[in-house]
Amino acid sequence: MPNTDKELRLSTGPDLTIAIAGLGIVGAETARQLVQASDRLSARAGRCLRLVAVSARSDSDRGFDRTGIAFESDALALARRADVDVVIELIGGEGGIALALAETALQAGKHVVTANKALIVHHGQRLAGLAEQARVRLKFEAAVAGGIPALKVLREGLAGNNIRRVTGILNGTCNYILSEMTNTGRGFDDVLAEAQAKGYAEADPSFDIDGVDAAHKLSILAAMAFAEQIDFGALQVTGIRQITDTDISYAGELGYVIKLLGHAQPQSPATVQPCLVAKTGQLAQIGGALNAVEFTAEPVQTVLCTGPGAGAGPTASAVLADVIDVAASRGGLPFGMRVGQLARATQKKDKQARRYYLRLMVMDETGVLSAVTSILRDQQISVESMLQKGQSDDKPVALVLTTHPTAPDQIKAACSSLSSARFISGAVMALPIVDEA
Protein backbone atom coordinates (compact mmCIF):
# COMPACT_ATOMS: atom_id res chain seq x y z
CA MET A 1 0.00 0.00 0.00
CA PRO A 2 1.75 3.19 -1.11
CA ASN A 3 2.10 6.03 1.36
CA THR A 4 0.88 9.29 -0.17
CA ASP A 5 -1.10 12.12 1.36
CA LYS A 6 -3.57 11.95 -1.53
CA GLU A 7 -4.70 8.52 -0.35
CA LEU A 8 -5.63 9.80 3.11
CA ARG A 9 -9.32 10.37 3.69
CA LEU A 10 -10.21 14.05 4.16
CA SER A 11 -13.50 15.85 4.67
CA THR A 12 -15.82 15.70 1.68
CA GLY A 13 -16.73 19.37 2.14
CA PRO A 14 -14.84 22.60 2.80
CA ASP A 15 -15.03 22.16 6.60
CA LEU A 16 -13.09 19.76 8.80
CA THR A 17 -15.60 18.70 11.43
CA ILE A 18 -14.38 17.83 14.91
CA ALA A 19 -15.69 16.05 18.00
CA ILE A 20 -14.12 16.09 21.47
CA ALA A 21 -14.49 13.30 24.02
CA GLY A 22 -13.60 14.48 27.50
CA LEU A 23 -14.12 18.05 28.71
CA GLY A 24 -11.69 18.26 31.58
CA ILE A 25 -9.23 21.15 31.74
CA VAL A 26 -7.53 20.14 28.47
CA GLY A 27 -10.72 19.25 26.61
CA ALA A 28 -12.49 22.43 27.68
CA GLU A 29 -9.50 24.57 26.69
CA THR A 30 -9.27 22.84 23.31
CA ALA A 31 -12.98 23.46 22.73
CA ARG A 32 -12.66 27.11 23.77
CA GLN A 33 -9.85 27.64 21.30
CA LEU A 34 -11.74 25.94 18.46
CA VAL A 35 -14.77 28.14 19.12
CA GLN A 36 -13.15 31.46 20.02
CA ALA A 37 -10.11 31.33 17.72
CA SER A 38 -11.85 29.62 14.80
CA ASP A 39 -10.81 32.17 12.18
CA ARG A 40 -7.12 32.10 13.11
CA LEU A 41 -6.94 28.32 13.38
CA SER A 42 -8.87 27.79 10.15
CA ALA A 43 -6.58 30.17 8.27
CA ARG A 44 -3.57 28.19 9.40
CA ALA A 45 -5.25 24.92 8.50
CA GLY A 46 -6.25 26.12 5.06
CA ARG A 47 -9.85 25.09 5.65
CA CYS A 48 -12.60 25.75 8.17
CA LEU A 49 -12.23 23.87 11.47
CA ARG A 50 -15.66 23.34 13.02
CA LEU A 51 -16.44 21.77 16.39
CA VAL A 52 -19.71 19.90 15.93
CA ALA A 53 -20.02 17.55 18.92
CA VAL A 54 -18.68 16.91 22.41
CA SER A 55 -19.03 14.22 25.06
CA ALA A 56 -18.42 14.37 28.81
CA ARG A 57 -19.70 12.92 32.07
CA SER A 58 -22.16 15.80 32.44
CA ASP A 59 -23.75 18.35 30.13
CA SER A 60 -22.59 21.33 32.21
CA ASP A 61 -21.13 24.69 31.25
CA ARG A 62 -17.43 24.37 30.38
CA GLY A 63 -16.70 27.98 29.54
CA PHE A 64 -17.28 28.00 25.77
CA ASP A 65 -20.24 28.78 23.53
CA ARG A 66 -22.10 25.53 22.84
CA THR A 67 -24.32 26.98 20.10
CA GLY A 68 -24.55 24.48 17.25
CA ILE A 69 -22.47 21.89 19.11
CA ALA A 70 -24.19 18.59 19.89
CA PHE A 71 -23.75 16.80 23.21
CA GLU A 72 -23.42 13.01 23.38
CA SER A 73 -23.60 11.27 26.74
CA ASP A 74 -22.03 8.19 25.11
CA ALA A 75 -18.53 8.99 23.84
CA LEU A 76 -18.69 6.14 21.31
CA ALA A 77 -21.55 7.95 19.59
CA LEU A 78 -18.99 10.54 18.43
CA ALA A 79 -17.24 7.88 16.35
CA ARG A 80 -20.51 6.90 14.71
CA ARG A 81 -21.64 10.38 13.72
CA ALA A 82 -21.66 10.94 9.97
CA ASP A 83 -20.86 14.64 10.45
CA VAL A 84 -17.53 14.05 12.27
CA ASP A 85 -14.17 13.85 10.49
CA VAL A 86 -11.82 14.03 13.50
CA VAL A 87 -12.31 12.56 16.99
CA ILE A 88 -10.19 14.13 19.74
CA GLU A 89 -9.86 11.65 22.62
CA LEU A 90 -9.12 13.40 25.94
CA ILE A 91 -10.72 10.92 28.32
CA GLY A 92 -7.49 9.28 29.48
CA GLY A 93 -6.57 5.79 30.63
CA GLU A 94 -4.88 3.01 28.72
CA GLY A 95 -8.05 1.01 28.06
CA GLY A 96 -11.77 1.23 28.64
CA ILE A 97 -13.81 3.82 26.80
CA ALA A 98 -10.72 5.68 25.55
CA LEU A 99 -9.42 2.62 23.72
CA ALA A 100 -12.89 1.67 22.45
CA LEU A 101 -13.41 5.19 21.10
CA ALA A 102 -10.06 5.27 19.30
CA GLU A 103 -10.65 1.84 17.75
CA THR A 104 -14.21 2.63 16.71
CA ALA A 105 -13.27 5.99 15.22
CA LEU A 106 -10.36 4.62 13.19
CA GLN A 107 -12.41 1.69 11.93
CA ALA A 108 -15.11 4.17 10.91
CA GLY A 109 -12.58 6.04 8.80
CA LYS A 110 -12.16 9.02 11.13
CA HIS A 111 -8.89 10.68 12.10
CA VAL A 112 -7.99 10.41 15.80
CA VAL A 113 -6.07 12.96 17.87
CA THR A 114 -5.21 12.10 21.46
CA ALA A 115 -3.16 13.34 24.41
CA ASN A 116 -3.34 9.90 26.05
CA LYS A 117 0.21 8.63 26.56
CA ALA A 118 -0.86 5.40 28.29
CA LEU A 119 -3.14 4.56 25.36
CA ILE A 120 -0.30 5.04 22.87
CA VAL A 121 2.25 3.13 24.96
CA HIS A 122 0.05 0.07 25.39
CA HIS A 123 -1.98 0.11 22.16
CA GLY A 124 -0.34 2.66 19.86
CA GLN A 125 1.15 0.24 17.38
CA ARG A 126 -2.14 -1.60 16.87
CA LEU A 127 -4.01 1.69 16.56
CA ALA A 128 -1.42 2.92 14.07
CA GLY A 129 -2.07 -0.23 12.05
CA LEU A 130 -5.79 0.52 12.04
CA ALA A 131 -5.05 4.07 10.88
CA GLU A 132 -2.91 2.72 8.03
CA GLN A 133 -5.66 0.35 6.94
CA ALA A 134 -8.30 3.11 6.98
CA ARG A 135 -5.92 5.64 5.43
CA VAL A 136 -6.55 8.14 8.19
CA ARG A 137 -4.29 9.81 10.69
CA LEU A 138 -3.51 8.94 14.28
CA LYS A 139 -1.89 11.92 16.01
CA PHE A 140 -0.55 12.11 19.57
CA GLU A 141 1.83 15.06 19.87
CA ALA A 142 0.21 16.09 23.16
CA ALA A 143 1.06 12.71 24.73
CA VAL A 144 4.74 13.66 25.06
CA ALA A 145 6.06 16.80 26.78
CA GLY A 146 2.87 18.86 26.52
CA GLY A 147 3.46 22.06 24.57
CA ILE A 148 6.89 21.04 23.28
CA PRO A 149 6.60 19.73 19.69
CA ALA A 150 9.03 16.92 20.50
CA LEU A 151 7.46 14.29 18.24
CA LYS A 152 7.09 16.72 15.37
CA VAL A 153 10.75 17.68 15.67
CA LEU A 154 11.73 14.02 15.72
CA ARG A 155 9.36 12.80 13.00
CA GLU A 156 9.75 15.75 10.63
CA GLY A 157 12.54 18.17 11.51
CA LEU A 158 15.09 15.41 12.20
CA ALA A 159 13.79 12.92 9.62
CA GLY A 160 17.09 13.08 7.71
CA ASN A 161 19.19 12.30 10.78
CA ASN A 162 20.48 9.16 12.45
CA ILE A 163 19.26 9.56 16.05
CA ARG A 164 21.94 8.40 18.46
CA ARG A 165 20.47 9.45 21.79
CA VAL A 166 17.33 10.90 23.38
CA THR A 167 17.59 12.49 26.81
CA GLY A 168 14.84 14.39 28.54
CA ILE A 169 13.32 16.01 31.59
CA LEU A 170 9.88 14.58 30.95
CA ASN A 171 7.89 15.19 34.12
CA GLY A 172 7.14 18.70 35.36
CA THR A 173 6.12 17.58 38.84
CA CYS A 174 9.47 15.92 39.51
CA ASN A 175 11.39 18.79 37.97
CA TYR A 176 9.51 21.28 40.15
CA ILE A 177 10.18 19.28 43.32
CA LEU A 178 13.89 18.81 42.60
CA SER A 179 14.29 22.45 41.55
CA GLU A 180 12.64 23.69 44.76
CA MET A 181 14.73 21.35 46.89
CA THR A 182 17.84 22.73 45.18
CA ASN A 183 16.82 26.39 45.49
CA THR A 184 15.49 26.30 49.05
CA GLY A 185 17.27 23.43 50.78
CA ARG A 186 13.96 21.96 51.94
CA GLY A 187 13.22 18.25 52.16
CA PHE A 188 11.27 16.12 49.69
CA ASP A 189 8.08 15.71 51.74
CA ASP A 190 7.80 19.44 52.41
CA VAL A 191 8.22 20.40 48.75
CA LEU A 192 5.87 17.66 47.57
CA ALA A 193 3.15 19.01 49.87
CA GLU A 194 3.67 22.48 48.42
CA ALA A 195 3.53 21.10 44.86
CA GLN A 196 0.22 19.44 45.66
CA ALA A 197 -1.15 22.68 47.15
CA LYS A 198 -0.16 24.58 44.00
CA GLY A 199 -1.63 21.98 41.67
CA TYR A 200 1.72 20.79 40.30
CA ALA A 201 1.24 17.34 41.87
CA GLU A 202 -1.83 15.12 42.19
CA ALA A 203 -3.31 14.08 45.53
CA ASP A 204 -1.79 10.68 44.74
CA PRO A 205 1.53 11.68 43.10
CA SER A 206 2.81 8.13 42.57
CA PHE A 207 2.43 8.16 38.78
CA ASP A 208 4.73 11.20 38.61
CA ILE A 209 7.26 10.80 41.40
CA ASP A 210 7.79 7.08 40.77
CA GLY A 211 8.79 7.82 37.17
CA VAL A 212 5.89 6.09 35.37
CA ASP A 213 4.69 9.22 33.56
CA ALA A 214 8.20 10.00 32.31
CA ALA A 215 8.67 6.36 31.28
CA HIS A 216 5.50 6.44 29.16
CA LYS A 217 6.77 9.50 27.31
CA LEU A 218 10.28 8.11 26.88
CA SER A 219 9.00 4.83 25.44
CA ILE A 220 7.10 6.74 22.73
CA LEU A 221 10.11 8.93 21.94
CA ALA A 222 12.45 5.94 21.79
CA ALA A 223 10.15 3.98 19.47
CA MET A 224 10.02 6.87 17.04
CA ALA A 225 13.71 7.79 17.36
CA PHE A 226 15.04 4.29 16.74
CA ALA A 227 12.24 2.84 14.59
CA GLU A 228 11.45 0.18 17.18
CA GLN A 229 8.29 -1.26 18.63
CA ILE A 230 7.32 0.13 22.02
CA ASP A 231 8.50 -2.12 24.84
CA PHE A 232 7.39 -0.38 28.02
CA GLY A 233 8.12 -3.38 30.22
CA ALA A 234 11.82 -3.25 29.32
CA LEU A 235 12.32 0.26 30.69
CA GLN A 236 14.36 0.55 33.87
CA VAL A 237 12.47 3.06 36.01
CA THR A 238 13.45 4.71 39.31
CA GLY A 239 11.60 7.69 40.75
CA ILE A 240 12.65 10.47 43.11
CA ARG A 241 11.11 9.38 46.44
CA GLN A 242 14.50 8.53 47.93
CA ILE A 243 16.23 11.80 47.02
CA THR A 244 16.99 13.75 50.20
CA ASP A 245 18.09 17.29 50.93
CA THR A 246 21.45 15.72 51.81
CA ASP A 247 21.81 14.42 48.24
CA ILE A 248 20.84 17.81 46.82
CA SER A 249 23.40 19.57 49.02
CA TYR A 250 26.29 17.21 48.27
CA ALA A 251 25.49 17.24 44.54
CA GLY A 252 25.72 21.03 44.62
CA GLU A 253 29.12 20.92 46.33
CA LEU A 254 30.35 18.58 43.61
CA GLY A 255 29.16 20.94 40.85
CA TYR A 256 25.91 19.16 39.93
CA VAL A 257 22.15 19.36 40.23
CA ILE A 258 19.87 16.33 40.45
CA LYS A 259 17.34 15.83 37.65
CA LEU A 260 14.99 12.97 36.81
CA LEU A 261 16.21 12.07 33.32
CA GLY A 262 14.80 9.77 30.68
CA HIS A 263 17.59 8.36 28.53
CA ALA A 264 17.42 6.13 25.46
CA GLN A 265 19.89 5.06 22.81
CA PRO A 266 20.15 2.11 20.42
CA GLN A 267 21.45 -1.19 21.79
CA SER A 268 20.92 -0.13 25.44
CA PRO A 269 17.86 -0.39 27.68
CA ALA A 270 15.99 2.88 28.12
CA THR A 271 16.10 4.30 31.64
CA VAL A 272 14.27 6.83 33.77
CA GLN A 273 16.22 7.69 36.90
CA PRO A 274 17.56 10.57 38.98
CA CYS A 275 20.98 11.67 37.74
CA LEU A 276 23.60 14.21 38.70
CA VAL A 277 23.78 16.71 35.84
CA ALA A 278 26.69 19.14 35.55
CA LYS A 279 25.59 22.68 36.43
CA THR A 280 27.11 23.85 33.15
CA GLY A 281 24.97 21.42 31.09
CA GLN A 282 21.94 22.54 29.12
CA LEU A 283 19.49 20.34 31.01
CA ALA A 284 20.69 21.68 34.36
CA GLN A 285 19.23 25.06 33.41
CA ILE A 286 15.69 23.67 33.00
CA GLY A 287 13.97 24.61 36.24
CA GLY A 288 10.52 24.60 37.79
CA ALA A 289 7.78 22.62 36.05
CA LEU A 290 9.37 22.91 32.60
CA ASN A 291 10.17 19.91 30.39
CA ALA A 292 13.03 19.49 27.94
CA VAL A 293 13.99 16.96 25.29
CA GLU A 294 17.51 16.75 23.89
CA PHE A 295 18.23 14.86 20.68
CA THR A 296 21.76 13.85 19.71
CA ALA A 297 21.94 12.92 16.04
CA GLU A 298 24.03 12.85 12.88
CA PRO A 299 24.56 15.14 11.07
CA VAL A 300 22.73 17.79 13.11
CA GLN A 301 24.61 16.98 16.38
CA THR A 302 22.51 18.31 19.31
CA VAL A 303 19.01 19.83 19.38
CA LEU A 304 17.35 20.93 22.63
CA CYS A 305 13.60 21.57 22.84
CA THR A 306 12.16 23.04 26.03
CA GLY A 307 8.87 24.43 27.29
CA PRO A 308 5.85 23.70 29.49
CA GLY A 309 5.17 19.99 29.65
CA ALA A 310 1.65 19.90 31.06
CA GLY A 311 -1.42 21.96 31.82
CA ALA A 312 -4.48 23.08 29.88
CA GLY A 313 -2.82 25.60 27.58
CA PRO A 314 0.33 23.68 26.59
CA THR A 315 -1.52 20.39 26.05
CA ALA A 316 -4.35 22.03 24.10
CA SER A 317 -1.68 23.74 21.98
CA ALA A 318 -0.31 20.35 20.93
CA VAL A 319 -3.80 18.94 20.29
CA LEU A 320 -4.68 21.88 18.06
CA ALA A 321 -1.41 21.55 16.15
CA ASP A 322 -2.33 17.94 15.39
CA VAL A 323 -5.80 18.95 14.21
CA ILE A 324 -4.29 21.59 11.89
CA ASP A 325 -1.88 18.99 10.50
CA VAL A 326 -4.81 16.68 9.77
CA ALA A 327 -6.65 19.50 8.01
CA ALA A 328 -3.58 20.39 5.95
CA SER A 329 -2.68 16.74 5.18
CA ARG A 330 0.62 17.00 7.04
CA GLY A 331 2.41 14.77 9.48
CA GLY A 332 2.67 11.36 7.83
CA LEU A 333 2.62 8.04 9.64
CA PRO A 334 2.21 7.96 13.45
CA PHE A 335 5.64 6.52 14.21
CA GLY A 336 7.40 7.97 11.18
CA MET A 337 7.17 4.73 9.20
CA ARG A 338 4.76 1.86 8.76
CA VAL A 339 4.11 -0.29 11.81
CA GLY A 340 5.35 -3.39 9.97
CA GLN A 341 8.72 -1.70 9.44
CA LEU A 342 9.34 -1.07 13.14
CA ALA A 343 12.03 -3.38 14.50
CA ARG A 344 10.93 -5.93 17.05
CA ALA A 345 11.87 -5.10 20.61
CA THR A 346 14.86 -7.12 21.79
CA GLN A 347 16.31 -7.63 25.24
CA LYS A 348 19.17 -5.21 25.83
CA LYS A 349 21.84 -5.17 28.50
CA ASP A 350 23.24 -1.95 29.90
CA LYS A 351 27.02 -2.17 29.57
CA GLN A 352 27.86 1.53 29.40
CA ALA A 353 30.45 2.54 31.97
CA ARG A 354 29.67 5.83 33.69
CA ARG A 355 30.66 7.70 36.81
CA TYR A 356 28.44 7.35 39.87
CA TYR A 357 27.53 9.27 42.98
CA LEU A 358 27.23 7.02 46.04
CA ARG A 359 25.67 8.21 49.30
CA LEU A 360 25.91 5.93 52.33
CA MET A 361 24.58 6.52 55.82
CA VAL A 362 27.32 4.97 57.97
CA MET A 363 28.05 4.59 61.67
CA ASP A 364 30.85 6.92 62.64
CA GLU A 365 33.33 4.37 63.89
CA THR A 366 36.87 3.22 63.20
CA GLY A 367 37.39 1.00 60.16
CA VAL A 368 34.22 1.95 58.27
CA LEU A 369 35.98 3.83 55.49
CA SER A 370 38.42 0.98 55.01
CA ALA A 371 35.56 -1.53 54.84
CA VAL A 372 33.69 0.58 52.28
CA THR A 373 36.71 0.95 50.01
CA SER A 374 37.41 -2.77 50.35
CA ILE A 375 33.91 -3.63 49.09
CA LEU A 376 34.32 -1.24 46.17
CA ARG A 377 37.75 -2.67 45.39
CA ASP A 378 36.31 -6.17 45.25
CA GLN A 379 34.06 -4.97 42.40
CA GLN A 380 36.99 -3.18 40.74
CA ILE A 381 35.43 0.22 41.41
CA SER A 382 37.88 3.10 41.66
CA VAL A 383 36.96 6.01 43.95
CA GLU A 384 37.39 9.47 42.47
CA SER A 385 36.44 11.65 45.46
CA MET A 386 35.01 11.43 48.97
CA LEU A 387 33.03 13.85 51.14
CA GLN A 388 32.04 13.44 54.78
CA LYS A 389 30.92 16.09 57.25
CA GLY A 390 30.16 16.02 60.92
CA GLN A 391 30.41 13.19 63.39
CA SER A 392 28.09 11.39 65.75
CA ASP A 393 28.59 8.70 68.33
CA ASP A 394 25.08 7.29 68.03
CA LYS A 395 23.57 8.41 64.69
CA PRO A 396 24.58 7.54 61.13
CA VAL A 397 26.36 10.22 59.12
CA ALA A 398 26.47 10.69 55.35
CA LEU A 399 29.48 9.43 53.43
CA VAL A 400 29.50 10.51 49.79
CA LEU A 401 31.77 8.99 47.14
CA THR A 402 32.11 9.55 43.42
CA THR A 403 33.58 6.85 41.22
CA HIS A 404 35.56 6.65 38.05
CA PRO A 405 33.64 5.11 35.08
CA THR A 406 32.07 1.88 36.27
CA ALA A 407 29.84 -0.72 34.61
CA PRO A 408 26.24 -0.92 35.93
CA ASP A 409 26.64 -4.55 37.04
CA GLN A 410 29.62 -3.59 39.16
CA ILE A 411 27.81 -0.75 40.90
CA LYS A 412 24.76 -2.94 41.55
CA ALA A 413 26.91 -5.67 43.09
CA ALA A 414 28.75 -3.15 45.25
CA CYS A 415 25.50 -1.58 46.45
CA SER A 416 24.14 -4.99 47.36
CA SER A 417 27.21 -5.77 49.47
CA LEU A 418 27.22 -2.34 51.08
CA SER A 419 23.51 -2.54 51.96
CA SER A 420 24.06 -5.73 53.93
CA ALA A 421 27.06 -4.39 55.87
CA ARG A 422 26.42 -3.94 59.61
CA PHE A 423 27.76 -0.36 59.62
CA ILE A 424 25.35 0.85 56.92
CA SER A 425 21.98 2.35 57.88
CA GLY A 426 19.19 2.44 55.31
CA ALA A 427 19.42 2.18 51.54
CA VAL A 428 22.52 2.98 49.54
CA MET A 429 21.93 5.75 47.01
CA ALA A 430 23.66 5.30 43.64
CA LEU A 431 23.03 7.92 40.95
CA PRO A 432 24.68 8.18 37.51
CA ILE A 433 26.71 11.32 36.83
CA VAL A 434 26.06 13.11 33.55
CA ASP A 435 28.80 15.55 32.63
CA GLU A 436 27.50 16.44 29.17
CA ALA A 437 23.74 16.82 28.87
Domain at 157, CATH number: 3.30.360.10
- In this structure, the answer to whether residues 198 and 300 fall within a common structural domain is yes
Q: Does 338 reside within a domain?
A: no
What pLDDT sits at residue 11?
42
Q: Are residues 267 and 155 part of one domain?
A: yes
Is the residue at 33 inside a domain? yes
pLDDT score at 49:
97
295 and 199 belong to one structural domain = yes
Q: Is residue 341 part of a domain?
A: no
Residue 347 lies in a domain: no
Residue 346 lies in a domain: no
Same structural domain, 142 and 164? no
SS (H, E, C) the chain: CCCCHHHCCCCCCCEEEEEEECCCHHHHHHHHHHHHCHHHHHHHHCCEEEEEEEECCCCCCCCCCCCCCEEECCCHHHHHCCCCCEEEECCCCCCHHHHHHHHHHHHCCCEEEECCHHHHHHHHHHHHHHHHHHCCCEECHHHCCCCCCHHHHHHHHCCCCEEEEEEEECCHHHHHHHHHHHHHCCCHHHHHHHHHHCCCCCCCCHHHHCCHHHHHHHHHHHHHHHCECCCHHHCEECCCCCCCHHHHHHHHHCCEEEEEEEEECCCCCCEEEEEEEECCCCHHHCCCCEEEEEEEEECCEEEEEEEECCCHHHHHHHHHHHHHHHHCCCCCCCCCCCHHHCECCCCCCCCCCECEEEEEEECCCCCHHHHHHHHHHHCCCCEEEEEECCCCCCCCEEEEEEECCECHHHHHHHHHHHHCCCCECCCCEEEEEECCC
pLDDT of amino acid 135: 95
Domain range for 91 is 5-146+316-333
Residue 421 lies in a domain: yes
Tell whether 188 and 97 lie within a shared domain.
no
Whether residue 138 sits in one domain with residue 31: yes
Q: For the domain that residue 42 is a member of, what is the CATH number?
A: 3.40.50.720
- What confidence score (pLDDT) does residue 3 get? 43
For residues 105 and 173, state if they share a domain: no
In a domain, 185, yes or no: yes
pLDDT in tens, the chain (437 residues): 344 444 444 444 479 999 999 999 999 999 999 999 999 999 999 999 999 999 999 988 889 999 999 999 999 999 999 999 999 999 999 999 999 999 999 999 999 999 999 999 999 999 999 999 999 999 999 999 989 999 999 999 999 999 999 999 999 999 999 999 999 999 999 999 999 998 888 889 999 999 999 999 999 999 999 999 998 999 999 999 999 999 999 999 999 999 999 999 998 899 999 999 999 999 999 999 999 999 999 999 999 999 998 889 999 999 999 999 999 998 788 998 899 999 987 777 888 899 999 999 998 788 898 999 999 999 999 999 999 876 666 788 899 999 999 999 999 999 999 999 988 988 899 999 997 64
The pLDDT value given to residue 364: 79
Q: What's residue 392's pLDDT?
A: 66
My answer on whether 397 and 293 are in the same domain is no
Domains held by the chain: number: 3
31 and 175, same domain (yes or no) = no
Are residues 28 and 76 both part of a single domain? Answer: yes
Residue 396 is part of a domain; what is its CATH number? Answer: 3.30.70.260
Note whether 326 and 396 are same-domain residues: no
- Residue 165 has what pLDDT? 95
Q: Is 217 a catalytic residue?
A: yes
Catalytic hit among 110, 139, 152, 217: 217
| 105 lies in the same domain as 139 | yes
pTM of model > 0.75: yes
What pLDDT, on the 0 to 100 scale, is given for residue 267? 83
Residue where one domain finishes, among candidates 307, 324, 347: 307
End-of-domain residue from the set 280, 298, 333 = 333
Confidence (pLDDT) at 5: 44
Residue 123 lies in a domain: yes
